[in-house]
């Protein structure tokens, strides 16, 4: 008699993109419109109208998110920061903010000192946080500038990167 182990994963998850060409400013809730699922059947849900992810109280989650932006002024120096907030608008405690900075590293660091990874990261225990949103925390630029998500035009037309969020459920 032979016993053959079949290993399965306890992971479910989703990839969220398609934010669209929306303006980004402090307090903007980022609302991906496209959902692609992977792994086991998920027990969280996502409302693309509100941008709210609702979590299962018996699960724990790893969240990653990046912002891609373009800007409408000539060669600004800028940064945008973003992170995750619960349903009381409190920033998730076990999280780190991400930032995008520009428009060139050498010029950026002549004006600003902030550095971080582009990816915002969090571990969320569904038993203590029932839902979260992905939000812009601050925008800062040396000239008046409108930041737009995902437009793919202007100074960043070479980039095919788009705003995206991964959620992994354990």
Query: CB neighbours (10 Å) of residue 49?
Result: 7
116 binds other proteins (CB under 8 A): yes
Structure tokens at 136: 């812009």
**Distance of closest approach, residue 103 Cβ to other proteins, in angstroms:** 14
* 9 near other proteins (CB under 8 A): yes
Parallel/antiparallel/unpaired status of strands 69-71 and 147-149: antiparallel
Q: Which is nearer to other proteins, 1 or 89 (CB)?
A: 1
Burial class for 22, CB neighbours closer than 10 Å (0-12, 13-18, 19+): middle
Which CB, 8 or 88, lies closer to other proteins?
8
Binding status of residue 1 toward other proteins by CB under 8 A: yes
Q: Does the footprint of other proteins cover residue 86 (CB under 8 A)?
A: no
Conformation bin of residue 89: beta by default, left when phi > 0, alpha when psi is -120 to 50: left
CB of 65 to other proteins, least distance (A): 13
By CB under 8 A, is residue 117 in contact with other proteins?
yes
Return d(Cα 14, Cα 149) in angstroms, integer: 20
Residue in the structure block whose two tokens are 């437009």? 151
Site of interaction with other proteins (CB under 8 A): 1-11, 60, 62, 81, 83, 91, 93-97, 99, 105-106, 109-110, 113-117, 119, 121-125, 170
């Amino acid at each position: 008699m032979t016993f053959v182990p079949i290993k399965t994963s306890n992971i479910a998850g989703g990839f969220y993109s398609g934010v669209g060409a929306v303006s980004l400013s402090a307090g903007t809730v980022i609302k991906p419109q496209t959902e692609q699922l992977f792994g086991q059947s998920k027990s969280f849900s996502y409302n693309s109208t509100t941008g709210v992810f609702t979590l299962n109280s018996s699960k724990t989650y790893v969240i990653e998110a990046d912002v891609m932006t373009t800007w409408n002024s000539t060669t600004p120096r800028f940064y945008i920061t973003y992170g995750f907030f619960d349903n009381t608008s409190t920033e998730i405690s076990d999280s780190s903010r991400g930032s995008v900075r520009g428009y060139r590293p050498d010029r950026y660091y002549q004006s600003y000192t902030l550095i971080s990874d582009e990816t915002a990261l969090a571990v969320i225990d569904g038993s203590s946080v029932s839902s979260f949103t992905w939000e812009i925390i601050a925008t800062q630029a040396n000239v008046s500038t409108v930041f737009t998500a995902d437009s793919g035009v202007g100074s960043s037309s070479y980039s095919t990167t788009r705003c995206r969020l991964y959620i992994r459920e354990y």
